[in-house]
Structure 1
């Protein structure tokens, strides 16, 4: 009770003389509480970001007249389950976007300085505004600005830049005027950065030729690197060779990947070596995979190897025909299936199972809606064995319905073999698509009459406007003549009228 009374006295502001360390700490906290203050106009705000394992936090502060930071606004948020699986760089972007949206009323009126010790937000000063939405051109400008700032931090003053943004290139070179209001501030800041270089050359790279850089940027953004990790230079080589050796799924990690010479030797040994049964192409491919060997074009190579095998094309010499003598009735039966029958019968039966005795020509039939191997077995038992005894011989064509049910292990092995050969089928399908596209392109180019354009030529421009013209069918289809001022590598042309506009 005495301890509670003492704490109550401390809370009311009456401090006795004999205080221990905890009471002194509580006294200091009560005398200097953390109070949020209103921001002063004309001074920038400081934005602090915090990322924990399960939560996000931010605080807006401002320097007062004495140079001391005063807290203005703070927020905290527990991350959702899917947000916890983000990499560290995504967490930084998440807290930045979340903080700017929640403190939007401060971002509109004040200049905000972002304070962060983690890459890539280190030493970044952003000005936020909600007047314009983010567009692709703004992103191109920001990427160029961040690249130049990073280069200047490394004390590089001579550089050659390759980019696929023709807009940024034209604005830097002064060929185009920056008429878009959203890009004027970016263009002004970019010009300040360009002046700090001794020699800066910006070369336009067509987007078709810049795909490799885009892939590298995508891969880099998906990998989370620690701050203290030093990334070694990446050596990239391009080679043109048959795809006999590839990295595949984890299920194939225990297989040995062969080159072309080794693949030919393995096919020869399995197909026609010791105990080689000269099997078909699909069985040969499956048997090679079961011996832990694999390459990408396995199935098509096995098919071509069997077509070149001389033993597979040699047949036994013809022999004399002998008459088959049947000594008693109902000893040899022939079985076959008729169907599907269209239209269906009145009871929706589509299949007819027929059996005939070779001696008496006696016929037994039955119709079914759906025919399975179990029903075929039941038909033989009820219509032949129970009526005429066990036959000496059954003649059939080894169709699907006459085969026994396979076990689950054999079915899984067959499906696994098919999945292993799926990549090769996809490659063959892609090759067929490319061959079809090349064939269509050749057929189309035969009808195209090349008309090379040169700088200064007079041309007409086709009118394809979506605005409805009151003249309808009497409206003009062409405008001009125009003068070609410049030609690009892609075939586009910049036109001016006869007055030079």
Structure 2
């Protein structure tokens, strides 16, 4: 049904339908303004009626709702199929199936549209609300004397303390001490992405490969722990450099590293892997830049070792039976001490029984002998069995 406003000459569209089933009866109306604003209305009917009466009730209820919004001078009706009237039909079915107690007010129905699953939507909201910490956050806390995170192990604490000794705070910013005396500004993720794009786009020279890009950024006075790997990844995504350049450069670098004769030192003149001759000062500067990127290689090696250890741990733990002992349990202890026994190989491998007196951290317990006296030395769980 189309309704035309007599004042602003705007057009409203109304869809209506009725529904009747074993649960009850109801009508549904949808009013659509000229600005494409949808107003759904659902009404439950508590009296008996035929299908024609249901259509009349829906039409009258829709007209009353429309007249409460605007004044109209022209109304026209058009028959449409149920496929095009699904919204009103759903509202009518909803009204017929719900039970609304007397005196209970139901708020207007609000229908939203989600284009992604709910968990992805919540993750995106949490990501926007979450403040990302820079990679040097823990190092900065160590410099200010705030200590390590509570979950850090002793090995991680020592490694962090050694790593923090190479950094300094100046003017509120964190810098890394380089081997040639230049302080390198520590860049977070957002600044690092901007630096990569600006330097590689030609603002600081022509397009370059990953190794030269990393050296250029170090020469400009910036640093982050994944500098070299990020440079290689960024260069591979650049469409202005052709693939055969990467192939030729990788082949030449492999040949240069594999041959001792390709690296020629002639007093103060050196042959670079790029095929250019440079002075000893330039050679020393390049070596200093490579030393600055050693931390990245150390961290990458540590991650590989930790990942390999986790794989071995998972494979080993599949065959391990968890042994849980509580206070009061009776156990046997393995005889591991080299005590002379005239029985020789017929000596028993287990002694006891003992009672568990106290559980200690580190998978150890304190035992009681058969007389109730405590054994002073703690015993590991791998030496006990029930």
Which bracket does the TM-score occupy, shorter chain normalised? 0.3 to 0.5
Specify which structure has the higher proportion of strand.
2
TM-score (norm 1): 0.33
Q: Greater relative contact order (Cα 8 A, min sep 6): structure 1 or 2?
A: 2
TM-score, normalised on structure 2? 0.43
